[in-house]
Structure formats: C-alpha cells, structure tokens
Amino acid sequence: MGSTSDENHGSAGVGRRDLIKRSAALGLISVPTMSLLSACASGGGGGSSDGNGAQGQKSKDNPFGAKKGSKLDVMVFKGGYGDDYAKAWEADFDKKLGITSTHTGTQEITGKLQPRLNASNPPDIVDDSGAQQIKIDVLYKNDALLDLSEVLDAPSVDDPGTKVRDTLIPGTLDPGVQEGKVVALNYIYTVWGLWYSGKLFQEKGWQAPKTWDDFLAICQDAKKQGIGGLAHQGKYPYYINVAIMDLIAKKGGIDAVKAIDNLDPKAFVGSDAAQAGIEAIYEVVEKGLLMPGTNGLTHTESQTRWNQYKAAFITCGSWLENEQLKQTPADFDMKFLPMPLLAGSKMPFEAIRAGSGEPFIIPAKAGNLPAAKEFMRRMLSREWSTLFAKEANSLTILKDGVDASVKLRPGTQSTVDASKAAGSNTFRFLYPDWYSEMDTAIQNASNELMAKRIQPKEWLKRCQAAVDKQAKDPASKKNHHD
C-alpha cells in the first residue's frame, strides 16, 4: 500500500489522499476504538537544549553560521515522492558545508517523531506529512515549532539581493501559517486538472481541447473507436469533484469559488456557474462517455487503465506521473491540461487550481538550529529545487524553480509549462480544509450523480443543503476566503 504523500493541501492538512490511504491502512487492523482514546500519551517536556550549541562563523554564504563538523539530523516522509531527493540534498549539503547529515526516511512520522519531541531531542528538520503526520496546528499549540521567518527573510541562495520569501510563488506559504507566523514550509507545488497521453492524441489526430465542446468531441470520437472518454478514480469521489469544482470556478470566476468557501446561501442553488458546471459533467455521464466501470475503480485501478490507453482523459493532481511511474509505458508522453472552458467563462483557459503541500518543519528544540535553517534556505535554491523535480517528478514552490537545461519527465514538464502560462491565474477551494463534513456531502452527491442515480438539479440541492448546514455551525464564522 504505497502511500502518497501529496495533497496536504491546507493548514489543517491531512490530505484527502492520505486519508483515503489511511482508511485502507486501517483495514490491516481493526482498532477497538476505545484503545485509541487511551493512546494519547502526553510527555512532560524534559530539559531544553538551546539548539545553538553548534553555532559557527556566520558569513555571506552561511548567514546562520552552520558549523563545520557539526551533525544535522534529517527526517523525511518516504511516501509517493520517495526520499532520494532528500539524500541528494544531504550529500550536497555535507559536501559544501562539511556537515555530517543523518537521514531517516519513514512513513511512520508520528511514531518516530512524537517520542523524540517529548524527550526534547527532536530531529533538526522534518518533512511532516503522510497518513501519520502530526498535525501542524497541534505541534504549534504545543510550542514545538520554530518560526521560519528568519529563513524566509534571509538572502536567497540564487540572488543574495532578494529575500527568500520573495522568490516563492505567491500564496504558497499560506497553508503553513498559524496565527500569522509561518511555522511550516509547504514545499511541493501541486496543480490539478486533466491528463492525457501525447502519444494517443498524436495517433488519433486529436488536439488538446480548450473548450468543453472540443473536449466532448474528443470523448465522442474515442467512444467510436472503443476507447473510454473520461476516466476518474470513482471509488474516491474526491477526484471527480476536482473536475466539477474547477469547471464551476472557471465559469463563475473567483466569486464562484468564494461563494462556496464562504457558505453563501446561493453557492449552488441559484448559481449559474454551479448549474453550468454540473450539467456539463452530467452530459459526459449521460452520453456514456465515461470509461466503463470507472465509477467503482480505485485510483490505482483507473489510472493504470488510463495508462493502458483505455481512456482519453483522467482527472488528477500533479503527483500522477510519479505515482504511475511503473505503469506508464515509455512512449506514453504524459501531458497535463487545464480544465477546458465552458462557454462564457470568467476565467481564461490557462487558469488552474494550484497550491502547496508537504510541510517541512524545524522543531523549536532542534539540536542544530543554524544548520537546519541553512538547510531550509538551500531547499529554496534553484539547484535543490531542480534536484527535487528530477528525483520526485514534482514542482516546488520556488518561482521558476527548475533549470531550463534539465530534462524533466514529460508530465512534470507540462505542469511547468502550464503553471508558467497560468501566471497569477490560479485559484484554490478552501472548503475541503475547513469543512470536511460539507466536503464529504458534496463528494457523496457527485458519486450519486456519476452513477446516474441523481440529476444535476438534485445535486445542486444536496450541495446547497450541505452548505446551509455548515453555515449554521458557529465555528464557521472564523473562516473567510477574502
């Protein structure tokens, strides 16, 4: 059960994908619930280390004074992105600074990290993600996290005249903010949309569609030739919801996104954008343009089918290429595509859903703070960001963070191009991070719609009911998508 680490989109982010995986993992042991409750171990804080025992000389290339000969303890989540990227970083770090890094790659972040936090000898830098991440807000409330402003205000490795924070894609730090302070660095930049095989399209003479009508035409043509049109990971309606919600967002513009996030009484019922979006998706269902059986398939099953040219399109985030490495034929030529446009859309075709995930943290009680800060500063250098793109086939939050000279995999390269083309035209729904119950209700409605058990009208009603229910909760007053 290879866990995929991506998708910690959001401050409270256990990613949807992770939860999916977790529920599968939980299948291995049926947990008597009650024992969960006795598992809350509260460790008394031990002695404190000042973390600056390893203070070396500060210099222009070493603004925090990471000390030569000191040790750096790195712990990373070894999920969908593996941990080879971190090993490559560490090798480079050790070479340049004369520091000895020790590396822990694990899926059991909680099990490995919690005892060490409680014993006050935590690692120096941690990639706290995956199904067993310790939630960032919990760590923050326990004063376990270092405020990263020092790193973000340090000079950039690539351009000493610029602060690190000014070299990042706008908005990518937001998910790691707690009470106005950045305490977690969400390092991976994910984009969501449709995916297709360049090879298949070339063979069939299809052009990547920019409008919904073109998209439907390709699906129709595919169906004639015995290929499914759209595949989705039906067992997890999260995925088809990405497609539905993106259509709505692009049709109605950022206002449609905010209406849903801010629990507007007309977020769904009475919203033209929502109606147009769901009717468009329903058209695919009604005309039989889905890949047969896709509604009941898991993500691996349907993605693999798509890799076998059984469908023209699939909806997914940019972790897809890395996740499907083994199943993808060598000449498949994976390509990313922003959601095609409905007529009269407020956003341009290039607009994409995008955001950052995979939180890296520095424990406040780390033994070698200078080296940890320096390590993080270098993570946000072009060289290391490129290393990451090569090893993990994914983008980072560094603006233009990949060397043009480096040959990336086709899917990753196409996300680079798409995100360049999108520029500031990115959007993101926040309701899944804020209101998991409402999100579930909407996913559930989408699952019923895809199975033709309900019509678009009923879908809108159900989603509006979920929004209205959430709006009654006084806690929802605290969130606002401005």
Partner 1 sequence: MRKGQYRFVAGFLFVPVALYVIFVIWPYIQTFGYSLTDWKGQSQTFDFVGLDNYKALLRDDVFLEAIWHNILFLVFIPVITILLALFFAFMLNAGGRGKAGGVQGVAGAAFYKIVYFFPQVLSLAILAVLFNAVYRSDGGGLLNGALIKVGLVDADNPVEWLNEPNLVLWALMVAVVWQGVGFYLVLFSAAMQSIPKDVYEAALIDGASRNQSFFRITLPLLWDTVQTAWVYLGIVAMDMFVLVSSMTQNMGAYGGGPDHHSDVMSTVMMRNFLYYGKSGYACAMGVIMLLLTLVLSVVTLRATRRERIEF
Q: Which residues of this chain interact with partner 1, rule CB under 8 A? A: 19-20, 22-24, 26-28, 30-31, 33-38, 40, 42, 135, 137-138, 141-142, 234-238, 288, 291-298, 301, 305, 436-437, 439-440, 443-444, 447-448, 451, 453
Beta carbon of residue 294, minimum distance to partner 1 (angstroms, whole number): 7
Return d(Cα 136, Cα 142) in angstroms, integer.
Answer: 10
* Exposure of 156 in the CB half-sphere (CA atoms within 13 A): 19
CB 126 within 8 A of CB 187: no
Beta carbon of residue 330, minimum distance to partner 1 (angstroms, whole number): 23
CA 91 to the chain's CA centroid: 26
Beta carbon of residue 269, minimum distance to partner 1 (angstroms, whole number): 19
Beta carbon of residue 448, minimum distance to partner 1 (angstroms, whole number): 6
> Closest CB to partner 1 among 91 and 451?
451
Beta carbon of residue 231, minimum distance to partner 1 (angstroms, whole number): 10
Return d(Cα 279, Cα 286) in angstroms, integer.
Answer: 10
**Helix locations, 27-166, DSSP H:** 33-37, 84-97, 109-118, 136-141, 149-153
Does an H or E element contain 126, and which? strand 125-127
Beta carbon of residue 12, minimum distance to partner 1 (angstroms, whole number): 8
Beta carbon of residue 374, minimum distance to partner 1 (angstroms, whole number): 32
> Closest CB to partner 1 among 93 and 434?
434
Beta-strand relationship, 71-77 and 100-106: parallel
> Closest CB to partner 1 among 37 and 404?
37
> Closest CB to partner 1 among 15 and 63?
15
> Closest CB to partner 1 among 96 and 287?
287
Instruction: Return the amino acid letter for 177.
Output: V
Angle at 389 between CA 383 and CA 390, to 5 degrees: 90
Beta carbon of residue 109, minimum distance to partner 1 (angstroms, whole number): 16
Return d(Cα 170, Cα 474) in angstroms, integer.
Answer: 31
**Helix locations, 28-108, DSSP H:** 33-37, 84-97
> Closest CB to partner 1 among 30 and 424?
30
> Closest CB to partner 1 among 40 and 404?
40
Beta carbon of residue 236, minimum distance to partner 1 (angstroms, whole number): 5
DSSP E strands in 257-351: the ranges are 311-317, 334-337
Q: Is the dihedral of CA 24, 25, 31, 37 positive or negative?
A: negative
Beta carbon of residue 257, minimum distance to partner 1 (angstroms, whole number): 21
Return d(Cα 295, Cα 96) in angstroms, integer.
Answer: 51
Q: Is the dihedral of CA 167, 171, 177, 180 positive or negative?
A: positive
Instruction: Return the amino acid letter for 94.
Output: D
**Please, what's the largest Cα pairwise distance for the chain?**
70
> Closest CB to partner 1 among 96 and 141?
141
> Closest CB to partner 1 among 232 and 409?
232
CB 354 within 8 A of CB 186: no
Helix (H, G, I), strand (E, B) or coil at 8: coil
> Closest CB to partner 1 among 109 and 392?
109
Return d(Cα 133, Cα 128) in angstroms, integer.
Answer: 5
